[in-house]
Structure 1
Amino acid sequence: METQPVDPATLGLLMFRAHQLARARANQAARPTGIELQHAGVLTAIQAGQVRSQRELGAALGIDKSTLVRIVDDLERRHLLKRRRAPHDRRAYEIVITEEGERRLQEASESFRGAMRELLEVLDVRQQHQLHELLARFVAQTPT
């Protein structure tokens, strides 16, 4: 018996639901830290030192300018990151994570891991590795 191809619409909906479930559980688990996944993505990129400016940050994370400004403003208001004049260009600002931002990001990351461990309990270790490999291949595609 020949295996039928997967309906792309059904698969797309499942991927969307998986994203919603994972995001909701992660955000719920990290609620005491005040960090959501969108905050963690921004803070992690800044902490890694891969980006300096808000423009670089938006490009690296694929976040539109208005959404990014809202996130950065929120994190700055909560003293988790700060903007400062770039030493090489006084017209530009660098974004840096604060000590408090690093501490809270660490706490949130532990909460996110715990939430994902719970969600992955429906799969055995081999299946978890297989899911990881398949998702890594899927997201590694070059956008068109």
Structure 2
Amino acid sequence: MTADLTGTVEAEPLERLGFLLARHGAIAYARMEHAFKQCGLTPRQGATLVLLGESGHMSQKGMAEVLEVDPSILCGILNDLENTHLVERRRDPADRRRHIVALTDEGGRTLDKARDAITAVEKELFADFTPEELSTLRNLLVRVRTSQSDSVCT
């Protein structure tokens, strides 16, 4: 490490924060993708099941907003999950224009497997961290300035 003109310590080129986040992010994503694949899911399908597991059921529109995906993308995800009997869509009795999405029993079992697989990946990735360090890392990452409109997120 070297100090720049302002006295700030500068990391070696490949140890700069952007490179470290990119490398570790790519590795973490690949491991999570593999974990979901072992459960027969894509990462987006897995995230959708996790959301439904937390909420019980949601409107399709509400899911698109929370997942921050275009409704047409979510429709494709839900079509695949519905075709494999992991979720079901029903008309909302109070508003027939609205679809309510819920986990099926099979979806709940698949979600349990996916959660176990994700937990295993996280335990491996963060084995050297204390609970306090993990909390600090989570709080710092939440503050990194990115947005859903960034090209990689759309």
Q: TM-score range by the shorter chain?
A: 0.7 to 0.9
> Which structure's residues are more often helix, by fraction?
1
For 2:118, the equivalent position in structure 1 comes to: 112
For 1:124, the equivalent position in structure 2 comes to: 129
What SS does the corresponding residue of 1:38 show, helix, strand or coil? helix
Q: Give the number of the structure whose alpha-carbon radius of gyration is greater.
A: 2
CA contact (8 A) 2:56 2:103 kept: no
For 2:63, the equivalent position in structure 1 comes to: 57
What SS does the corresponding residue of 2:50 show, helix, strand or coil? helix
User: Aligned residues: percent identity?
Assistant: 30
CA contact (8 A) 1:51 1:57 kept: no
Name the CA shift for 1:116/1:58 in 2 (closer, same or farther; >3 Å): same
1:102 aligns with 2:108: yes
Name the CA shift for 1:50/1:58 in 2 (closer, same or farther; >3 Å): farther
- What do residues 21-76 of structure 1 show as CA deviations (whole Å, max 9, x unaligned)? 21210121343321333212111222322762211111111111222111111111
Structural RMSD (CA): 2.9
How far, CA to CA, are the matches of 2:68 and 2:83 in structure 1? 23
- The normalised TM-score by structure 2 is 0.74
1:80 CA drift (Å): 0.4
CA contact (8 A) 2:46 2:111 kept: yes
- What do residues 97-136 of structure 1 show as CA deviations (whole Å, max 9, x unaligned)? 1111111111111111111211223x43254343223113
- Amino acid corresponding to residue 124 of structure 1 in structure 2: F
How far, CA to CA, are the matches of 1:130 and 1:37 in structure 2? 25
How far, CA to CA, are the matches of 2:99 and 2:137 in structure 1? 40
Structure with the bigger RCO (C-alpha within 8 Å, sep 6+) is: 1
Runs (5+) with no aligned partner, structure 1? none
Name the CA shift for 1:81/1:111 in 2 (closer, same or farther; >3 Å): same
Q: How many residues align?
A: 140
Runs (5+) with no aligned partner, structure 2? 150-154
**Which of the residues 2, 8, 33 maps onto 1:3?**
8
What SS does the corresponding residue of 2:25 show, helix, strand or coil? helix
Deviating more after overlay: 32-41 vs 69-78: 32-41
For 1:78, the equivalent position in structure 2 comes to: 84
How far, CA to CA, are the matches of 1:115 and 1:85 in structure 2? 37
